Amino acid sequence: MRAPQNGDGAMVNEAIRESFECLHEWMQWADHIPETEETEANARKHRANFLLRDAFTFYILDKLYGVFIGTCSLVRADWQVRRFEVGYWIRRSAARQGFMSEAVDGVTQFAFKNLHANRIEIRCDTRNSASCRVVAERCGYHLEAVLINNFIDPAGAIRDDCLYAKIRLNNGSFGYPTSIRK
């Protein structure tokens, strides 16, 4: 994984084109297939946001071939609380190979160790079992709530969100408390 760089637009655009049908089902931003120039502009925005510490988007590259396979980001930063949300997507040909779980684990560790996060959240559509069970739960996130009628999906339907969380515990480790403080 690495931060976005100028010139990344073409490789990201290729992955979006390959995966658009899958992405469009879950991602609000995937409302059209972008031109390469639009994807390059977004890559530059991701880089600028990374440098400004507004959001931290990491590009995931296959270790063997250097092929772009997806993104894993820390977004919606609340620096006072030190709360972040993890967002991610993977190209269709790289799905179900463990890459995203590895990336989410890495971004989670980065947030706790380097950004001194107190809370990290993952939100996903209740229908997206791959995101819920295969990524969030496998990475040790706890299902804290199901938020009813919480967002509009790309098709325009009102949907429910799973809210997963991992926090900094009193003993300094990361996980979820077995009992809630009073």
pTM of the predicted model as reported, rounded to 2 decimal places: 0.88
The Cα–Cα gap between 182 and 180 comes to: 7
Which residues are within 8 A (CB) of 1 and not within 5 positions of it... i.e. 6 or more apart?
58, 59, 60, 61, 72, 103, 106, 107
The Cα–Cα gap between 161 and 114 comes to: 28
Q: Please work out, in degrees rounded to the nearest 5, the angle formed at the alpha carbon of residue 114 by the alpha carbons of 121 and 118.
A: 40
The closest alpha carbon to 1, from 83, 77, 57, belongs to 57
Q: Which helix (H) or strand (E) holds 90?
A: strand 83-90
Tens digit of each residue's pLDDT (9 = 90 or more) over 128-182: 888 888 899 999 999 999 999 998 887 788 999 999 999 999 888 888 887 666 5
Structure token pair of residue 172: 């300094």
Instruction: Say which DSSP state 34 is in.
Output: P
Tens digit of each residue's pLDDT (9 = 90 or more) over 98-137: 999 999 999 999 999 999 999 999 999 999 888 888 899 9
Structure token pair of residue 141: 């996130």
The Cα–Cα gap between 19 and 117 comes to: 32
Measure CA of the first residue to CA of the last residue in the chain; give whole Å. 39
The closest alpha carbon to 8, from 51, 46, 62, 52, belongs to 46
Rounded to 5 degrees, what are φ and ψ at 40? -65, -40
Give pLDDT, residue 65.
87
Cα 155 to the center of its chain, rounded Å: 21
Give pLDDT, residue 54.
95
Domains and CATH numbers, the chain: 9-175 (3.40.630.30)
Q: Is 51 helix (H, G, I), strand (E, B) or coil?
A: helix
